[in-house]
Amino acid sequence: MKAACTTSRASVVAARVADLLATPEQARAWAGERWWPQSLAQGAAGVALLHIERTRTEDGPWSRAQAWLECAVAQGVDASPAAHLFYGAPALAYVLHRAQSVRPEFGPQLARLDVAVDRIITARLEHAQERLAAGVRPVLAEFDTIRGLTGLGALLLARDEHHPHLPEVVSYLAALTEPLTVDSEEAPGWWARVGPGGKEDPRFPAGHANTGMAHGICGPLALLALALQRGIAAQECAEAMGRILDWLDTWQQGDADQVWWPYWITRAQRSGAEKVVGPQRPSWCYGAGGVAHAQLLAARALGDAARAERCRAVLHRVFTTAAVSPVVNDASLCHGYAGLALLAHTTGTGRPEDLLAPAVGGGDAHTLATELISTGGIGLLEGAAGTALALHTLTGPAPEAGWAGFLLCAPTGGTRG
């Protein structure tokens, strides 16, 4: 009865969020200064995806998706090398890829975006190869899921797993895992010269090694695993994943009741001068949920049954305790209940409806929807559009999350059409 109640409320709350975000004009006041139309994470592109998926299931009119797509491109589309999966031409390409199955007439626009994305990836790879050749430490935006080549690789997997750039991205990520020398000491190749915020930070004078799915090495691990499953650069993928998994094993913390990994490792922590911090929030972006999920993908790709079983146990523990955990305190895809529900659905190690229950508990649907928007914003990654998308797709009669390839936690693989 509880599950049925959650499912019913989830559908109603999702519909109410969609109503409140029916048009850009309605949402403009909610967004305030966080109004970035080309953003998949926080802007019109992400809200369009919510309405596209609701149109796909015949739960919303196409006119809403159309209005948001028009808003996303109204001021032009950034096709510079600074664009990435969550902003600009790649973000629009991802959204139109999902839209094309509902509206095939988007083919020509998508083809033009593909050309722009190809140029962006070429420039990004050239810059990364120059940095590798120079032996300089990377910045997070070079390789991570949100702004880097891992995210662009996720787009290629979704659009066309046979794309000629995909093996190049995979080879780059494999090279990223090769050790480099930092102040006369060997360090992992993803040891960034910046802080976790992506910029020079006096609190991280020697940089850091980031663990997370969003900005750390677990994003590349997940993409390498998905590539290996498709037979792409098999030896490179396997060797690179081995290096990443060894690092994660070294820094695994806790016991059988609570396994966790630090968000990042500093030079002082690596030397033993400081202790690692945790356990922290077990979300998609950082923490045990995302890290164990990436390792599970790797274990499946490598045929490592023992690691896969350990990861399933960690995920099961995360999902059974998250609803009562004080460190999980919002409903978002990025670091809240919606993201955990998506991981539970993808891995089959938890009940999405239980994880979504805190997002729909208490109050009427309008109040809940209003709170989701007012506290998290309109966006897909950290806001109400993403939560509503999870509520809509994960608690329906036939849960399906093909839209979630941008988080590297849904089945991917397509052919351009």
Sign of the C-alpha dihedral computed for residues 8, 11, 14 and 15 taken in this order: negative
CA distance 54 to 333: 17
* 127 marked among binding-site residues: no
209 Cβ partners below 8 Å, 6+ apart?
187, 188, 190, 191, 192, 216, 217, 247, 264, 265, 270
128, HSE (Cβ side, Cα atoms, 13 Å): 27
**From its phi and psi, is residue 236 left (phi > 0), alpha (psi between -120 and 50) or beta?**
alpha
* 218 marked among binding-site residues: no
Alpha-carbon 127 to chain mean position: 23
- Amino acid present at 323: A
Judge if the upstream peptide bond of residue 37 is cis by omega within 30 degrees of 0.
Answer: no
20 Cβ partners below 8 Å, 6+ apart?
26, 27, 30, 369, 370, 373, 384
And the tokens for 191? 């040891």
* 334 marked among binding-site residues: yes
DSSP helix/strand/coil, 160: coil
Q: Are the CB atoms for 66 and 76 separated by under 8 Å?
A: no
b or e along 319-353 (b: 16 or more beta carbons within 10 Å of the residue's beta carbon)? beebbeeeebebbbbbbbbbbbbbbbbbbebbbbb
Q: What's the helix, strand, coil split of the chain in %, to 5?
A: 60, 5, 35
Strands 185-187 and 208-210, by their bridges, are: unpaired
Q: Which of 262, 291, 281, 403 lies closest to 342, judged by CA? A: 403
The conformation of residue 277, written as its DSSP 8-state character, comes to: P
And the tokens for 101? 């199955």
What separation in angstroms does the CA of 298 have from each of 21, 169, 199, 244? Answer: 38, 17, 30, 10
Chain position carrying tokens 């019109």 = 44
Please enumerate, by residue number, every residue annotated as part of a binding site: 285, 334-335
Please enumerate, by residue number, every residue annotated as part of a binding site for Zn(2+): 285, 334-335
